[in-house]
Amino acid sequence: MKILYVGSGLSALQVKRGGYDGHITVALNNAWRAFEKAPCDYWIHPNDFPVENYPPAGRFREEIPHRVYNAVIQRSAAAIGIKGVEGFALECFIGYTSFFQGLYWIMANFRPQQIGLLGFDHDYNGAKVKKWEADAKPTIQNSFNGQQETTVQAWAEKYFAGYDTDAFYGHGTPDPLRFGTQYIEKKMQIAQQTADRLGIRLVNYSYRPSPFAVFSREPQ
């Protein structure tokens, strides 16, 4: 079994080219937008995903909200060899970002032979990142430090106006970087080690460059 796991980065557009027959498709957050000709098999999202960005009917086959994927990860933790740090939630070990939690749900729920990644290059616009960091990293978690717009998308378009986009559907925050690049790389290494123990190949299908070189690169 092969899984195609798609995020919101620019390489998600490769889905539109086709060539991923034989993959079960999992779209994280806004990545459902990349699947136009056929719905994705699974749409996964955290509790704080903005309601205005929910997909319309027919764009996915099964919704996997946080309570579902978190339950699978918690139940399967021992079996797939992950553990929480004493006194902390399991997410402290695997990573708090939706990318990592979705990845572990895939490993625990499907035990596939291969997971192909698209839209997860973490190739954020450097100028956007600097602005975001200088303004105390506004995110959903901190209510964007007092946003006035009615929707997250409206806030992002105004806040990042004039900057080149680094998501295929428009502007978004570089939220996975809120703990820093070293954090991301460490959690990628732990994910790779977990996949190796389970005999799962983790492969980045993207043609785009990435600041991280943890996963194998096989553009397709």
> Residue ranges per domain, the chain?
2-122+177-217, 126-165
Question: Which of the four pLDDT bands, split at 50, 70 and 90, describes residue 84?
Answer: low
**136 falls in which pLDDT band (50, 70, 90)?**
confident
pLDDT (0 to 100) of residue 9: 95
Strands (E), 93-214: 114-118, 201-204
Q: Which residues pair with 24 in a beta bridge?
A: 3
Is residue 94 within a helix (H) or strand (E), and if so which, with residue range? helix 91-94
Tens digit of each residue's pLDDT (9 = 90 or more) over 23-46:
999 999 999 999 988 899 999 999
How many Cα neighbours within 13 Å face the side chain of 137? 8
pTM for the model stands at: 0.93
Q: Which two tokens stand for residue 148?
A: 């006035």
Return the structure tokens found at 36.
């136009």
Classified as helix, coil or strand, 190 is helix
